[in-house]
Amino acid sequence: MSVDLTEIQKSIQQTFRDFSDKKVRPLAGKIDEERKFPSELFKQAGELGFFGMRYPESAGGSGLDIVSYSLAVIELARGSLSLAAVCSMQSLMGTYFLYRFGDKEIREKYFSEALKGKKIGAICMTEPNAGSDLMAIKAMAKVSADGFILNGQKTWVTSAPVADFFTVLARTDNHDQLSIFFVPKNLRGVMVGKSIEKMGVRGSVTSEVGFVDVHLPKNYLLGEIGEGTKCLREILAEIRIMTAALAIGVATSAYEEAKEYAKTRVQFGKPIGKFQAIQMKFADMAVQLETAKHYVLFAAALSDKNLPRQKEAMIAKLYASECAVNICDEASRALASYGYAVEYNIERYLRDSRFTLIGGGTSEILKINIAKELGL
């Protein structure tokens, strides 16, 4: 199950590790405290080529594999889960359907600029009454003489307050299945609503978005009518692998910082890391972290080889996210009262880690789907 990294993959990992250590980590606490989109770091990630890693050179990307991408995500998340979340959204769900189905206008004006970090994209799926159950979506794009008229309400839209364009899942009046639409933010009738205050990943600004009689030309339909859910499945495994990588990144930071604390915090005449009870905590954390990381890279390698990986991606996301929450909790316990103090990063990691339980499917949904994959 182990994945031997190539020299290029090691280089990508080191590049984003250096960026994370030198640029991101020093600002991570400020990003969380100010609850603002990390614009400058976002642009710098674009300059490093993060947003185009998964796309071919012919489309303006670098044509790298999912293993390389996952390693970069881990390192970004090790620095700031807020930054990693918005960058990952941009590099995957925010731009994929523009690349896959966008015409020349969309590609040149929006997709190409998004790969550079000069425009920001967001995806609108969730609605007040449609979360895990996408087929409960009520947003409607009625067919008109020259295109579509979109109406609907979306919520939990990552980067919506700063986005330049949206990818929207909606119904059409002539089809039972969902379709995908490209919606520039500056169109009349597009309204970004109130921000959603969150426990963690506070620099990943999130809000509601409403669409009232928004006129969309025909070329803003991405793909075919009724093919939206099918198209989403094309990248569902990668979404889950990416979310698992985010979980590993934040868990790694919590583990590493708690371990350093255990080496220097002296009680009863010796560092607390010398006490067996603390040592067992770190042994458990290390086992979970290493196992999760290996499995995520294994699932990423399956994706690179275009092999079946839906079950593996679900297992990776489920295990990594649950491990992340547990590791951050145990790290906090190792610091005792200081793990509860805002001056230490651990409390932020603990808050942030819970974000990974949601994206890519909740643990409960994943368990149900894994059971189906097992033929039960």
Q: What is the pLDDT of residues 268-293, one digit of tens each?
A: 999 999 999 999 999 999 999 999 99
> Is 331:340 a contact under the CB 8 Å cutoff?
no
Q: How many helices (H) and strands (E) does the chain have?
A: 13, 10
Q: Give every residue of the chain whose pLDDT is below 70, as ranges.
A: 1-2
Angle at 96 between CA 79 and CA 196, to 5 degrees: 55
Which residues of the chain form beta strands (DSSP E)? Answer: 121-124, 140-144, 147-158, 165-172, 175-184, 190-195, 206-217, 221-222, 266-267, 270-271
- In this structure, which amino acid lies at residue 171? R
Query: How far is 103 from 346, CA to CA, in rounded Å?
Result: 46
> Is 155:126 a contact under the CB 8 Å cutoff?
yes
* Superfamily of the domain at 229-373: Butyryl-CoA Dehydrogenase, subunit A, domain 3 (1.20.140.10)
- Two structure tokens written together for 253: 């930071």
Span 289-331, pLDDT tens digits: 999 999 999 999 999 999 999 999 999 999 999 999 999 999 9
**Confidence at residue 2, expressed as pLDDT on a 0 to 100 scale:** 60
* Domain chopping of the chain, boundaries: 7-115, 121-225, 229-373
Query: How far is 24 from 131, CA to CA, in rounded Å?
Result: 32
Secondary-structure class of domain 7-115 per CATH: mainly alpha
- In this structure, which amino acid lies at residue 30? K
**Confidence at residue 1, expressed as pLDDT on a 0 to 100 scale:** 53
Phi–psi pair at 189, nearest 5 degrees: 100, -5
Q: Give me the count of residues in the chain.
A: 376
Query: How far is 37 from 225, CA to CA, in rounded Å?
Result: 34
CA 125 distance to own-chain centroid: 14
Angle at 154 between CA 150 and CA 155, to 5 degrees: 170
For domain 121-225, the question of CATH label 3.30.70.2970 is answered with no
Whether 7-115 and 229-373 share one fold: the answer is no
**Confidence at residue 173, expressed as pLDDT on a 0 to 100 scale:** 87
**pTM (two decimals):** 0.96
**Confidence at residue 109, expressed as pLDDT on a 0 to 100 scale:** 96
